[in-house]
Amino acid sequence: MKYLLLFPMMLLSIIATGQNPVANEPEEKVIIDNDEMKVVEHISQPKGDVCGLGMHHHEPHLTIVLTDAKIRITPENGESQEIEVKSGTSIWFDAVETHSVANIGGQPTKMILVYLKE
């Protein structure tokens, strides 16, 4: 009986401390959301998704890489590409087709995505 009570207590502890109970899901924090822009911070763990959960897409945006990252990008057609990106890299993306991005490195990744609003 005490084991049945232990699991809900552990789950509440995870939620209360803000830890992400789904290891594959990136942490996403909206930093700014106003009439001109939306700025979102993404933090992913090794073997986790980087900038969205599973297959997803983005509107045009600027990505600012805050940590060295080794990632695997997989578009809808399934032709994966592995790349390494250095901390400090900034990349502008026009609208991005549906894709998934996995952290295949050994450390967490941290990126900022800036979406301009019209």
pLDDT at 69: 95
Does 1 have pLDDT greater than 80?
A: no
Q: What is the pLDDT of residues 90-107, one digit of tens each?
A: 999 888 788 999 999 999
Rounded to an integer, what distance in angstroms lies between the CA atom of residue 36 and that of residue 4? Answer: 49
Domain 22-116, CATH homologous superfamily name and number: Jelly Rolls (2.60.120.10)
Cβ atoms < 10 Å from Cβ of 117: 10
Please state the rounded mean pLDDT for residues 62-67: 95
Integer angstrom CA distances of residue 36 from 33, 64, 95, 111, 113: 8, 18, 18, 20, 14
Question: Rounded distance, CA 60 to CA 63, Å?
Answer: 10
- Measured at the CA of 44, the angle between CA 107 and CA 90, to 5 degrees, comes to 90
Looking at the predicted structure, is the pLDDT value of residue 76 above 50? Answer: yes
Predicted TM-score (pTM) of this structure: 0.74
pLDDT at 24 (0 to 100): 61
pLDDT in tens, 2-60: 444 444 444 333 444 444 445 566 789 999 999 999 999 999 999 999 988 888 888 88
pLDDT surpassing 90 at residue 67: yes
Tell me, what's the pLDDT at 84? 95
Q: What is the pLDDT of residue 62?
A: 93
C-alpha separations of 100 from 16, 23, 50, 97 in Å? 29, 16, 8, 10
